[in-house]
């Protein structure tokens, strides 16, 4: 907090997050934004959390935030003020993470990268979950790193609470706690390996689990009793499996490869099997759709496997939802050259984070942050392979991976030296990067300047 450079980049980050909302205010909604808003209105009317118009039950965090924004601040759009604050604070959180992982120089670069990343800055001005999700994910990561270093039980407890809140915002975080526990238990300088580390740090592990359970369990118990069976925070997996494992191709919603209009989306849905009954309890309908998806996979194993590269390519698309936003004309006052420059900047940030970040992760990823960052990336890509991909799903991963991009930019020679000195890591990098780049190139041309095509 004594680093003046950090305060300077926080001012830059705040300015970049406020500017789009001031210059090109977006008061309407797009797709899931509209769904969250409709659910929030039901909460305001006293109905509590209800299913979406599509029939799936989201995690409660964001709909309730929208509802409270309406009730306390008078308008749901006011939530963007909180998101701008959370997104700016995330710059500071990443600075703290990178400082613990690799020192001040890397911390400064990482903070600058996330502050200047156009997609991350823009998401703060939308009504999407990602800004809050990234904030709590980084908060949990920083708390765990600090607890591991200091032995502080309060920090471990706070990390569990923060990750619990992340679970309440996005159900995909439900299976992340083991990665954070591994990070907390990492032996480090201790002798005796994992067994001794767990013995010495059991209080930290217990505090983390306690914070997590106290945060998530009350809602899980309430929702399970109300919505037809056990659930943690949402009942969406059946819907996602339905979209990704059906007779129609895997669906996504990015610019140039997604469902751009409702009629096209509806025609795709009509060509596949019907959804399970959405009038019953959402937990039961989700289980039904998940069961039918498994049956479809068993009946079409080759088709399922053949779709995995496409799904991964959808997730690794260097473009982003901001590309779609700009190309759809939602910044009508911005000059054409500026909008196209933003699109190209999106590609630069996305490509550099994935390629150079992955290279550096192979070379230098060690310790607690390796479990959190690399584990979260692998877990998310595995779920993508099973369901369907979208650049929005990659946004939190880009934030975690920015630490490794910053490490490369701070010392590129050190990265290559580390690879040279570790043949297994070098083999891992050489076997991973070519398919990664090939998958990135799949949808990259959709973001090329319009006058090139």
Question: For residue range 171-222, what is the model confidence (pLDDT) as tens digits?
Answer: 999 999 999 999 999 987 666 788 888 888 899 999 999 999 999 999 999 9
Q: Cβ distance 395 to 134 under 8 Å?
A: yes
Q: Cβ distance 240 to 387 under 8 Å?
A: yes
Read off the DSSP letter of residue 332: T
Q: Cβ distance 346 to 320 under 8 Å?
A: yes
Bridge partners, 57 (sequence order)? 235
pLDDT at 241 over 70: yes
Domain limits at 421? 4-452
Q: Quickly state the pLDDT bin for 380 (edges 50, 70, 90).
A: very high
pLDDT at 334 over 60: yes
Burial 73-89 (b: 16+ CB within 10 A, else e): eeebbebbebbbebbbb
Q: What is the pLDDT of residues 274-301, one digit of tens each?
A: 888 878 899 999 999 999 999 999 999 9
Query: Rounded to the nearest 10 degrees, how much is the dihedral formed by the CA atoms of 9, 15, 16, 20?
Result: 170
pLDDT at 39 over 70: yes
Name which of 330, 313, 333, 339 is nearest 256 in CA terms: 313
Dist CA 187 CA 297 (whole Å) = 41
Name which of 127, 172, 174, 233 is nearest 381 in CA terms: 172
Name which of 314, 303, 184 is nearest 251 in CA terms: 314
Dist CA 398 CA 358 (whole Å) = 11
Helices (H), 300-411: 301-315, 321-327, 336-364, 368-386, 391-410
Q: Quickly state the pLDDT bin for 260 (edges 50, 70, 90).
A: low
| Percent of the chain surpassing pLDDT 70 | 98
> Which residues are CB-contacts of 257 (< 8 A; sequence separation ≥ 6)?
314, 317, 443, 446
Name which of 23, 20, 27, 138 is nearest 89 in CA terms: 138
Rounded to two decimals, what is the model's pTM? 0.94
183 alpha carbon, distance to own chain's centre: 19
Q: Cβ distance 251 to 258 under 8 Å?
A: yes
Given this model, what pLDDT does residue 30 score?
Answer: 80
Name which of 175, 154, 174 is nearest 219 in CA terms: 174
208 alpha carbon, distance to own chain's centre: 21
Angle at alpha carbon of residue 373, lines to 370 and 378, rounded to 5° = 105
Domains of the chain: total? 1
Name which of 29, 142, 41 is nearest 373 in CA terms: 142
Q: Cβ distance 319 to 446 under 8 Å?
A: yes
Dist CA 178 CA 184 (whole Å) = 10
Dist CA 211 CA 358 (whole Å) = 32
Q: Cβ distance 27 to 77 under 8 Å?
A: yes
Q: Residue 251 phi/psi, 5° resolution?
A: -90, 145
Name which of 61, 364, 380 is nearest 233 in CA terms: 61
Coil/strand/helix, residue 398: helix
pLDDT at 350 over 90: yes
Q: How far is CA 378 from CA 107, 179, 330, 357, 381, in A?
A: 24, 11, 34, 14, 5
Q: What is the pLDDT of residues 96-153, one digit of tens each?
A: 999 999 999 999 999 999 999 999 999 999 999 999 999 999 999 999 999 999 989 9
Q: Quickly state the pLDDT bin for 450 (edges 50, 70, 90).
A: low
Dist CA 387 CA 250 (whole Å) = 8
Coil/strand/helix, residue 235: strand
Query: Rounded to the nearest 10 degrees, how much is the dihedral formed by the CA atoms of 23, 28, 30, 31?
Result: 160
- Pick 388 or 219 by higher pLDDT: 219
Query: Rounded to the nearest 10 degrees, how much is the dihedral formed by the CA atoms of 14, 398, 129, 252?
Result: 130
Name which of 173, 439, 137 is nearest 315 in CA terms: 439
């Amino acid at each position: 907090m004594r680093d003046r450079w950090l305060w300077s980049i926080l001012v830059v980050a705040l300015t970049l997050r406020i500017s789009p909302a001031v210059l090109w205010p977006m008061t309407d909604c797009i797709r899931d934004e509209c769904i969250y808003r409709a659910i929030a209105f039901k909460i305001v009317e006293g109905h509590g959390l209800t299913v979406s118009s599509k029939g799936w039950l989201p995690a409660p965090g964001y709909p309730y935030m929208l509802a409270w924004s309406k009730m306390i601040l008078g308008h749901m759009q006011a939530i963007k003020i909180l998101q701008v604050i959370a997104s700016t604070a995330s710059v500071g959180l990443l600075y703290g993470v990178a400082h613990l992982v690799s020192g001040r120089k890397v911390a400064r670069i990482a903070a600058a990268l996330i502050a200047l990343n156009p997609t991350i800055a823009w998401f703060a001005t939308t009504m999407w979950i990602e800004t809050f999700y990234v904030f709590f994910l980084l908060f949990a990561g920083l708390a765990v790193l600090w607890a591991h270093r200091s032995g502080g039980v309060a920090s471990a407890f706070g990390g569990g609470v923060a990750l619990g809140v992340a679970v309440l915002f996005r159900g995909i975080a439900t299976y992340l706690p083991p990665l954070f526990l591994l990070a907390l238990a990492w032996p480090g300088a201790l002798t005796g390996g994992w067994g001794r580390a767990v013995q010495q740090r059991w209080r930290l592990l217990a505090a983390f689990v306690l914070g997590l359970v106290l945060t998530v369990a009350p809602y899980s118990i309430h929702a399970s009793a109300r919505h037809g069976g056990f659930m943690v925070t949402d009942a969406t997996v059946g819907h996602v499996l339905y979209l990704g494992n059906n007779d129609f191709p895997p669906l996504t919603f990015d610019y140039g490869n997604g469902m751009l209009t409702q009629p096209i989306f509806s025609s795709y849905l009509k060509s596949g099997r019907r959804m399970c009954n959405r009038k019953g309890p959402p937990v039961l309908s989700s289980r039904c759709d998940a069961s039918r998806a498994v049956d479809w996979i068993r009946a079409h194993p080759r088709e399922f496997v053949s779709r995995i590269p496409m799904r991964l390519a959808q997730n690794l698309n260097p473009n982003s939802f901001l590309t779609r936003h700009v190309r759809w004309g939602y910044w009508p006052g911005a000059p054409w050259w500026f909008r196209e420059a933003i699109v190209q900047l999106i590609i630069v940030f996305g490509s550099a984070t994935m390629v150079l970040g992955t290279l550096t992760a192979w070379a230098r990823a060690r310790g607690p942050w390796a479990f959190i960052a690399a584990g979260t990336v692998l877990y998310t890509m595995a779920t993508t392979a099973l369901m369907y991909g979208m650049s929005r799903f990659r946004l939190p991963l880009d934030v975690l991976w920015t630490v490794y991009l910053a490490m490369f930019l701070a010392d590129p020679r050190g990265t290559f030296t580390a690879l040279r000195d570790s043949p297994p890591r070098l083999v891992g990098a050489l076997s991973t990067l070519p398919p990664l780049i090939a998958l990135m190139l799949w949808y990259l041309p959709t973001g090329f300047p319009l006058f090139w095509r």
